[in-house]
Amino acid sequence: MNKVVTYQEELREILLTMNELLSKHVEIHDKVFKRGLLSIFKRIPFQEYAREGSRIQSDIKVLQSNLSLIEMDGTKEDIRIVNVIKDYLSRFAESVNKLTQITKSLTNKANGVDFSYKEYNALTEEYNECEQYRLLLGDKMNSVGRELLN
């Protein structure tokens, strides 16, 4: 009798890691875009945010690689879940990339490199579009999460 191998546990771990990465991303987002009045007197560590964004991007690539391995050998159900996660991760990676571009550009601006308000607005608009698309996929992702984590 053939034993069916399933990757449910690995997929759960991927989801938990994604949740940690998303929390870090939201934290960076809030620090960049939701500053209070008192923060105008503080130095904002955009370079630190850019480094953290780069780390998140690297971690996403590892997750995408792990998903590709599962996709090659998983059950139909595993592959269905992998496809939902890959779609979401792809959009999440785009959002992280745009936010990292913003923080790198703001780091450069703080160091005297020209970065106009028009360029900032264009990048921010692209980032917001990525975030909106990622959020649209959130319902599917949450549904898969409930399946795996319950």
Closest-CA residue to 85 (of 15, 13, 7): 15
pLDDT digits (tens, 9 = 90+) for 52-111: 999 999 999 999 999 999 989 888 999 999 999 999 999 999 999 999 999 999 999 888
When pLDDT is cut at 50, 70 and 90, the band that residue 39 belongs to is low
- What are the domain boundaries of the chain? 8-149
pLDDT value at position 1?
A: 45
Are the C-beta atoms of residues 97 and 134 closer than 8 Å to each other? no
- Is 108 in contact with 56 (CB distance < 8 Å)? no
Between CA 57 and CA 122 the distance in angstroms is 21
What is the pLDDT, as a whole number, of residue 34?
81
